[in-house]
Amino acid sequence: MSEIMTLLREAIGAGRRGPLPGQGRGPGEPWEGLVEETPQVWAVWLAEYWRSKTRRPLPEVPPIWLTYAGQEVRLVGVERRFGYEWMFLCPRCGGMRRVLFLTRRGLLCRRCGRLGYLSQARRKERALELGLPLWGRRMLGGLSKALAQDLAQDVRKELEDLFAKLSVEVKDEEDQGARLG
């Protein structure tokens, strides 16, 4: 019986250092979401779009920026050995980031959006998964396809909503924007 209790305590995090399941990095400042579950926008997507439309290497100063629900997100060029890499400037902290996440407060970097990684979180659901005998996992196997389809439908809707609000702007000489289509 003590072995079972020890395994259960290890699975849910009891007796370990760090936050309890689902609390994030600390009890005073919990995460607002997980990176793996939050819609993302990568700067490389805009760079590849630019390359495909112009058939030229990336310029030092990106001539485009991203607008999401009235929030303007600037891009900067970073010199690399192979040319330039475009990165976002986080609207909140101003840090250069390859990816921004769609949070409740708009497009932000991982730190400003207070997002954690799934591998850092110990969740109660994980204890159930670890404690299920092999025959129980097989019985639940049929449910996983239905859950995956529901998740795919939800993600599809979230992405459609996300990209409905995104626009890419081109800078002209007077810094006026013209929509790139």
Number of domains in the chain: 1
Report if residue 136 sits inside a domain.
yes
Report if residue 120 sits inside a domain.
no
Q: What is the pLDDT of residues 38-66, one digit of tens each?
A: 999 999 998 998 889 899 988 989 988 88
Backbone φ/ψ region at 22: left (φ over 0), alpha (ψ -120 to 50), beta? left
Report if residue 109 sits inside a domain.
yes
109 CB burial (10 A radius; 0-12, 13-18, 19+): buried
Kindly state the tokens that stand for 177: 């924007």
Report if residue 13 sits inside a domain.
no
Helices 124-131 and 2-12 pack at an angle, to 10 degrees, of: 140
Report if residue 69 sits inside a domain.
yes
Report if residue 92 sits inside a domain.
yes
Does this model's pTM top 0.85? no
Report if residue 98 sits inside a domain.
yes
Res 102: pLDDT: 92
Report if residue 93 sits inside a domain.
yes
* pLDDT surpasses 80 at 152: no
Share of the chain above pLDDT 90, in %: 25
Domain hosting 142: range is 32-113+132-172
161 — pLDDT class (breaks 50, 70, 90): confident
